[in-house]
Amino acid sequence: MKKVNPHIIQWAIDWNGLTIGELEKAFPKIRQWLDGSHEPTFKQLEKLAAKTHTLVPYFTMQAIPDVSLQIADFRKANPGDATAPSPELFDTIDELLFKQAWLRDYFVEVGADKLEWVGAFAHQAAMPDVDAIADYLHELLDLEEGWASQSGISSTDEAWRTLRQAIEKQRVAVCISGYAGTNTRRTLKVSEFRGFALSDEYAPFIFVNGADAKTAQLFTLVHEMAHILFFQTGVSRPIEPHKPFGGEDETERFCDQISAEFLLPRSPFLGIWADTKDKEAALKQSTKEFKVSTIVVLRRALDLQLLTKQEFGILYDRHCKDRDLIKADKPSGGDYYRSQGTKLGTVLTDAIYTALKTGYLQFADAYKMTGFKSQNLDRFYRERGMVL
């Protein structure tokens, strides 16, 4: 075995936000590994690699591994300011890129049509007509203005399901999860990202951070759809309360504005705020009517000059301060197969099923794609009335 590089061990520890003290119980000689006075065995390296979510060969490299973000980083106005992703975000993007590559090949192989609407506004990316794009999305998704306040949609959960289903009908693979891979302990940080889009004419993907609240996920879903309309692939930033929608990055600002216009249409939104001088009442009615988060309503009201910066600050401190902008929904510990269905999404789930039935996909590859074992995959599909 090649000589282990102590600097790589230290890098792996730092990358995962761990301390030497936290690792000493599992690796009693880790300090000796770091000062070079003792070499770990191959089995110990395997164990350390699993603990730090790295690859064993990394530990014998001369230079620090490149774990820069695999796709564009829309969270930074200047690309040079991009920071290394957490292991959880890095692995999640890797997983989705792998799934997208397979799904694209599958759709091409079976003769699926290109999705003509993908990139429909790529020519406007530098100076988009926000209202026109929001109108286009309403038509594309068959969700008229004010859809979330209709009598059939009485809760955020119903609005979330309605929007997701409408997007998936357009053959967008929507994957939602609050953790990386199959390890529920590897939680995704809302403070790091809220979602990302992988644009493609055959198999566009949207990933939404499931650790976020459903009200925030609604905004992210539309935001990522806007990126796909611009034919953009990249990671999106969280909403920053004291900056305009999208912060300093033009791309993010446009997508946030489109999402805001789609979810909180100007005319009915102005109607709510014009009918009352009670800002608290308007805030409460808006979150109820449009099924979105408090911070999104406050930002929309500020951008439409319905609130002064002082009023915004007061309401923000009262409702959002000392929280992660939007408090995430508490995990219910619900049904395992349902949560996996949410993570995989309908488009990918159906494609894998058909590919298995026609022999295009082998079961061993399906297990890798879904994270299921044999008996679990069978039950997952049986619960959907689909027999393998």
CB 96, CB 205: distance < 8 Å: yes
Which helix or strand (DSSP H or E) is residue 75 part of? none
User: For residue 316, what pLDDT is reported?
Assistant: 85
| Apex 269 CA angle, 289 and 123, nearest 5 | 110
Contact 306, 273 (CB under 8 A): yes
In the chain (388 residues long), the average pLDDT of successive 10-residue segments reads 89 91 92 92 92 91 89 72 82 96 97 97 89 96 89 86 97 96 90 94 97 91 97 83 57 91 93 85 91 90 89 85 49 72 96 96 94 90 91
- Please tell me the distance from the alpha carbon of residue 29 to that of residue 36, in angstroms, as a whole number: 11
- Residue 180 tokens, joined: 């990386």
Determine the pLDDT at residue 324.
44
Q: Residue 29's CB: how many other CB atoms inside 10 A?
A: 13
pLDDT of amino acid 237: 76
CA angle 14, 196, 202 (to 5 degrees): 130
Structure tokens at 366: 């399906």
How many C-beta atoms lie closer than 10 Å to residue 84's C-beta?
Answer: 13
Find out whether 387 and 120 touch, Cβ atoms under 8 Å: no
Strand-pairing partners, residue 338, are: none
Question: Which residue(s) pair with 72 in the sheet?
Answer: 234
Which residue(s) pair with 206 in the sheet? 174, 197
Tell me the three state secondary structure of residue 373. Answer: coil
Question: Which pLDDT belongs to residue 241?
Answer: 53
Q: What is the pTM of this model?
A: 0.89
CB 130 within 8 A of CB 261: yes
DSSP string for 254-311: HHHHHHHHHHS-HHHHHHHHHT-S-HHHHHHHHHHHH---HHHHHHHHHHTTSS-HHH
Contact between residue 215 and residue 181 where contact means Cβ atoms under 8 Å apart: no
Q: Please state, in angstroms and rounded to a whole number, the distance separating the CA atoms of residues 231 and 84.
A: 24
What is the rounded CA–CA span in Å between residue 300 and residue 189? Answer: 24
Task: Name the nearest CA neighbour of 35 among 11, 66, 9.
Answer: 9
Q: Residue 351 class from Cβ within 10 Å (0-12 exposed, 13-18 middle, 19+ buried)?
A: buried
In this structure, how many other beta carbons lie within 10 angstroms of the beta carbon of residue 375? 8
pLDDT of residue 323: 53
Distance of alpha carbon 245 from alpha carbon 229, whole angstroms: 18
Q: What is the amino acid identity at position 378?
A: D
Q: How far apart are CA 336 and CA 102, in angstroms?
A: 25
Closest to 243 (Cα-Cα) out of 185, 316, 190, 165: 316
d(CA 182, CA 177): 10
